[in-house]
Amino acid sequence: MMAKAQITEGIKDFLIQIGELSHFAGRFLREAPKRPFEFNELLRQCYSVGNRSLTLVGITGFIIGLVLTLQTRPTLIEFGAVSWMPNMVGISIVREIGPVVIALICAGRVASGIGAELGSMRVTEQIDAMEVSGTNPFKYLVVTRIAATTLMVPILVILGDVLALFGSYLVEHFKGDVSFQLFFNKIFSSLDFGDLIPATVKSFFFGFAIGLVGCFKGYNCKKGTVGVGMAANTAVVMASMLIFILDFIAVFVSDIFYEL
């Protein structure tokens, strides 16, 4: 009975979280088109999300290309298909591996940072002070951060994809003596708009989910300083889960589109 009660309580808490998150997203959609537009804060948040994640995303993307090629090359050699390496690497990185892995990196780096930042502002009553002074803290703190992650994550994904493909090229160049022009000509010949557009579109949704969850957890932080750590931790977990769910939906819709 106790286990059943715990499961029921867990399901109830999960559904409440989903409802509150949906309400928070609706409030963002209502507030975003309204004036005034905080362009300076938006630019500052874009710099914070993009520039400070640049090194981590670049190194991660480069290593993805190296590892994927090193692990796959022996198998392709065994089947006599090593000439298909650029095609395989290009499609797998651009379609799936690049967007998902880079989004997860941003979830760990950005969502936790936003959750901790807004959470500390909530527990130290800075957000309450902004409300008392007549400003709109949701507009200034939340809308700008969600917009920044929505805009910057796709750019970071593109950067990660490029560096991953370059890392793959280095392996092929030194192990298979493949030229730069030949390697990338084969990659671009294997890709079409049906590969690029869905990957780019879902990157915007990944960025939106990362910013939304980070702001939601931080803005509604409770339980004092302990809640700040909980907000940062749960923001990463929830953002990662949303990324996987959105990726599944994107792949499912893409398959239906290809069948049509």
Q: Where are the domains of the chain?
A: 37-259
Residues 11-34 have a mean pLDDT of: 86
CA 144/CA 162 separation, integer angstroms: 28
Angle, helices 180-190/85-92, rounded to nearest 10 degrees? 60
Compute the CA torsion angle 44, 50, 55, 56 (nearest 10 deg). 120
Residues 195-224 have a mean pLDDT of: 89
Q: Which of 46, 7, 22 is nearest to 238 (CA)?
A: 22
Residues 163-186 have a mean pLDDT of: 89
Q: Is the per-residue pLDDT at 9 higher than 80?
A: no
Residues 118-143 have a mean pLDDT of: 85
Per-residue pLDDT reduced to its tens digit, 145-170:
999 999 999 999 999 999 999 999 99
Number of Cβ within 10 Å of residue 204's Cβ equals 15
Q: Determine what percent of the chain is predicted with pLDDT higher than 90.
A: 35
Q: What is the DSSP string of 127-163?
A: HHHHHHTT--HIIIIIIHHHHHHHHHHHHHHHHHHHH
Q: Is the per-residue pLDDT at 191 higher than 80?
A: yes
Q: How confident is the model at residue 101 (pLDDT cuts 50, 70, 90)?
A: very high
Tell me the average pLDDT of the chain: 87
| The residue count for the chain | 260
Q: Which of 88, 17, 6, 24 is nearest to 241 (CA)?
A: 17
Q: How confident is the model at residue 34 (pLDDT cuts 50, 70, 90)?
A: confident
Reduced to 3 states (helix: H, G, I; strand: E, B; else coil), residue 179 is: coil
Per-residue pLDDT reduced to its tens digit, 37-94:
888 989 999 998 888 888 999 999 999 999 999 988 888 888 887 888 888 888 899 9
Contact 228, 117 (CB under 8 A): no
Name the helix (H) or strand (E) containing 45.
helix 39-78
Question: According to the model, what pLDDT value does residue 16 have?
Answer: 84
Question: According to the model, what pLDDT value does residue 2 have?
Answer: 58
Looking at residue 67, the DSSP 8-state letter turns out to be: H
Q: Is the per-residue pLDDT at 223 higher than 80?
A: no
Question: According to the model, what pLDDT value does residue 255 have?
Answer: 75
CA 34/CA 49 separation, integer angstroms: 23
Question: According to the model, what pLDDT value does residue 207 have?
Answer: 94
Q: Which of 98, 40, 78, 73 is nearest to 170 (CA)?
A: 73
Question: According to the model, what pLDDT value does residue 239 have?
Answer: 92
Q: Is the per-residue pLDDT at 6 higher than 70?
A: no
Q: Determine what percent of the chain is predicted with pLDDT higher than 70.
A: 97
Q: How confident is the model at residue 206 (pLDDT cuts 50, 70, 90)?
A: very high
Question: According to the model, what pLDDT value does residue 260 have?
Answer: 61
C-alpha distances (whole Å) from 196 to each of 10, 65, 201 are 39, 18, 9
Compute the CA torsion angle 137, 142, 147, 148 (nearest 10 deg). 100
Q: pLDDT higher for 92 or 35?
A: 92
Q: Is the per-residue pLDDT at 194 higher than 80?
A: no
CA 39/CA 165 separation, integer angstroms: 34
Per-residue pLDDT reduced to its tens digit, 239-260:
999 999 999 998 888 777 766 6
